[in-house]
Each structure stands twice: as structure tokens, then as C-alpha cells.
Amino acid sequence: MAKRKHLFCKALFFSVFLTGCAGETQYIEDYSTYGGEAVYDVFDNGKITKGIWVTPPDKYRTEDMFAKMAQCGIDMVNGFMYAENTEEEIHTVMNYCDKYGIKYFVNSSIITDGIAQYSKDQNPDHITEAMEFLGKFSSHASFAGVLLMDEPGGGLFPALGAYADAFHKRFPGKIANVNLFPDYALGGTGFSRYEDYITHYLDATKAKVLSYDSYPLFEVDTQSENYIFEDENYYACLDLLRQLSLDEGVPLWSFIATLGYTHPTERTRRTPSRADLRWTVFSNVAFGVKGLQYFCYCTPDQDSYGEAMISRGGEPTETYYFVKEVHEEIANYESILMNSDCVGMMLKDYRRYGQSLHFTGLTHFGPIKGIEGDHYLAGCFIDKDSGKKSMYLTPTSPRESIQLKLLTYSNIKSVSAYVKGELVTLNAADNAFDLAIDAGESVLLCFE
């Protein structure tokens, strides 16, 4: 709690006016309350973490399957206790991860069942058993830590805190991770407000990573009167978590859907197209997400799930290649964003069921004094070391291309930009940049 400032204060920034030699009024912004001490690069590789959920089942637990992960850019695996459910199987997976430079979070029913039991009886033997079990795998180079639990209710937070504390003492430098509910699953959290669910978790566990899942791509029936393509609260939740992770000084990790699915208490999700997947990835990157996790890598057995990155037959699907492509593109600029605080957002999305922000959006940032256009999202970043600013822009819909005019101060003549992953120079004309961004694309502007 000590790190976290009052959110309404953190959502504001201080601006003063100066008159330049050209006689034009300029904003000078003070973001001194932001970031600085945040530790985002938990694996110390300068890259946005790219992880998966649902590891290969027994018949596909081969070296080739993990080689394919690495070839796709995956560098982190969330252990899956329903697949590798013996010590031997965990070691086998970790050996493959060792070879291909992939980090691995151990996940086991010994841990999850023990947490549930500890919450009832507070018997320290449960924690001792868990730490001894984890010690069997700690010599692996791939050992990143433990995935304590997926989507716990708030009633388990004290137990999770006790386990996390014991883990970090036993395995310094490693991570006791937990993946949290999305905002639309509020009934499972035990709280009436989603923000309280997140802050109580952070306070209880002293988390080193804030991880959650949210899947915004709805199956669409255009004949329905009130059809909707994406969850209209998706951006607002990301904005809340962006700020909370910034306050806490930890990286935000999120899950990206690679498949469609049906669920009795949720809207049916559609199988993501190339543009859908890229829109989801780029939206998360714009909100400062430092870890992209994919649900799922291997297709689950249940018929309620469509095929993921690896089919039920053990072969890469087209989604595998969508993910590989977007990772190759991000690799050209991810180091810039990995070392930067996402200090605020600019958004305009005037349409039915348009996206919105949790906090008040920015109206200007760095040399950009305004944006003309619609259906855009812009994440605003400041490098923690150099103070250099950057802006990450993407359309608010996977179906729409956008035309923007970025208004600048008169002393700005050009800017470096990553367009479709390629570094180019954009030249200003009449104190503005004209910017076209296709559906499923993004642009990173780098300001000197």
C-alpha cells in the first residue's frame, strides 16, 4: 500500500505554458509522480514477455513442440497441472524449456489444493510441503517461479499472501504469480467493486507481477437488434489496471484469446481473425502491458473450445502464424516500451458501444498538442531512464482503418516512427502529421 498514491492524483499531470522563440505557446508537462522505480523487465531481457497457457498433452509433449514455441517467439510457459501432473512430466517440460530459453512457472494441485486448505486451517505444514515440492525444480535454468492459482476469489488472498511470502523468502529473485479474474466475472471475486478486488490482492501478496485475463471478442449475430462486436468495457478495465500496475511499480500481464469458446455464464467468443488478434495485442501494448499471454497454446479437449495455436491433431493452426507474425513485428521496438511508463491515454471512439477509459484521458502529450480524427487509441509513454516520450496508436476496432491528423508545435519538423514494425521518418506539414493506420495495425511514434 505504501507505493500506491491516491488514484485521482495519479491520473492528473501538471502543465505550464511557455512561449517559444517562434511565439507559440507550448505545454511543459511534469510527470515526476510517475514510475521511476517500477521493475517491468522481470526476466532481464529487454523484451515484452510472451507466454502461453495450456501446455502440450501427453501425446504431444515433445521437444519439437517446444521448439515451435520458441520459433513463434514464446519465452514463458505457465505450467498446466492438468497436462504435466507428475514430477517426471514437469521435469520433462522444464528440460525442453531449458534448451530453448523459455521461462517456466510451476503449477501443481499440490500448491492449489494446499492454498485452499490453508485458508481453512492455517496449518503451516501446507506451505512447507509446497516449498519442498518447488525446490525439486528450482535448479532448472527455466525456473521462473510458481503459478500459485488461476482466478482466485478474494477470500483466498490471505492464504495466497502467506504462500507468496514464504516463496519469495525461499526463492529470492523468482516470482509467485497469480492470474486474476476479469472485470466481467465480478461475482467470483468476492467484492462489489473490481478495483477493490485488485488492490486487496496487491496488498495481500506484495505481487511482483499483475496478471489477469479478459476476452473481448464476441460472436456476432448481426440480425440481433443489439449486437455488439467487442466488450465495450475492455479499454476501461485495461486503463484501471494500467494505473494500478504503475502505482505499484510492477508489470501488467494480460491474456489474449487465440480461440473461440462457449461458456454458460458468458457471451460466446468468436475465433479471432488475423485483424482481431492483432487489435487485441496492439490494444494491450498501447495500455502499457509488459506481458502478453495466450489462451491457449494447445487446444483444450473440451468441445466448448475452438482450435487454438496448436490443433487437437498437434499441428500449428493459422492463429499460430498470426501470433508469430505479430511477435516478429513487435520485436523491432519492444525494448522502447519495455523500459517506459505508460502515463496516460488519448482516446476518441464515437460509435455505438464505443470504448471508454476508466480515468480522464489526456488531451495532449509531448510535442502532440491534439489529435483530429476518430476511433483511435493512443498510449503515452515516458522512458524511465532517458525521459524520452513516445506514443503508440492503434484503431479502436479490428474492422476499421483510421485517418488521423496529429497537431504539433511549430518547432517539430519530423519524427521517427515504427510503421508495421519498420522504422521510418514522418515529416510534418503545416504543423501536423497526417497518419493512416489500417485495421489490425499500429504505429509507434518516438519523440526526441
> What is the largest distance, in Å, between two alpha-carbon atoms of the chain?
71
- Residue 102: C-alpha distances to residues 42, 65, 68, 111, 281 (Å): 14, 12, 12, 22, 20
Q: At what angle do helices 157-170 and 109-121 cross, to 10 degrees?
A: 120
Residues in CB range of 437: below 8 A, 6 or more apart: 376, 393, 394, 395, 401, 402, 404, 443
Question: Phi, psi (5° rounding) for residue 271?
Answer: -70, 125
Q: At what angle do helices 194-205 and 157-170 cross, to 10 degrees?
A: 30
**Closest listed residue to residue 29, CA positions, set 425, 341, 356, 429:** 341
Which pLDDT does position 370 carry in this prediction?
Answer: 97
Give the C-alpha separation, 20 to 369, whole Å.
Answer: 14
Half-sphere exposure of 306 (CA within 13 A, CB side): 17
Q: Which residues pair with 417 in a beta bridge?
A: 424, 445
Question: Phi, psi (5° rounding) for residue 194?
Answer: -65, -40
**Closest listed residue to residue 402, CA positions, set 370, 436, 352, 379:** 436
Give the C-alpha separation, 44 to 40, whole Å.
Answer: 9
Instruction: Report DSSP state, residue 208.
Output: S
User: Which residue has 485495461 as its cell numbers?
Assistant: 238
Q: Which residues pair with 305 in a beta bridge?
A: 261
Residues in CB range of 114: below 8 A, 6 or more apart: 126, 127, 129, 130, 163
Per-residue pLDDT 10s for the chain (448 aa) are: 445 554 444 444 444 444 343 444 444 455 544 556 789 999 999 999 999 999 999 999 999 999 999 999 999 999 999 999 999 999 999 999 999 999 999 999 999 999 999 999 999 999 999 999 999 999 999 999 999 999 999 999 999 999 999 999 999 999 999 999 999 999 999 999 999 999 999 999 999 999 999 999 999 987 887 788 999 999 999 999 999 999 999 999 999 999 999 999 999 999 999 999 999 999 999 999 999 999 999 999 999 999 999 999 999 999 999 999 999 999 999 999 999 999 999 999 998 889 999 999 999 999 999 999 999 999 999 999 999 999 999 999 999 999 999 999 878 899 999 999 999 999 999 999 999 999 999 999 999 8
Q: Do you find a cis peptide bond into 21, omega within 30 degrees of 0?
A: no
Q: Are 148 and 176 in contact (CB under 8 A)?
A: yes
The grid coordinates listed for 35 are 514510475
The grid coordinates listed for 246 are 504503475
Stated pTM of the model:
0.94
Q: Are 147 and 190 in contact (CB under 8 A)?
A: no
Q: Are 382 and 389 in contact (CB under 8 A)?
A: yes
Give the C-alpha separation, 48 to 30, whole Å.
Answer: 27
Which pLDDT does position 224 carry in this prediction?
Answer: 81
Residues in CB range of 140: below 8 A, 6 or more apart: 91, 94, 95, 97, 98, 104
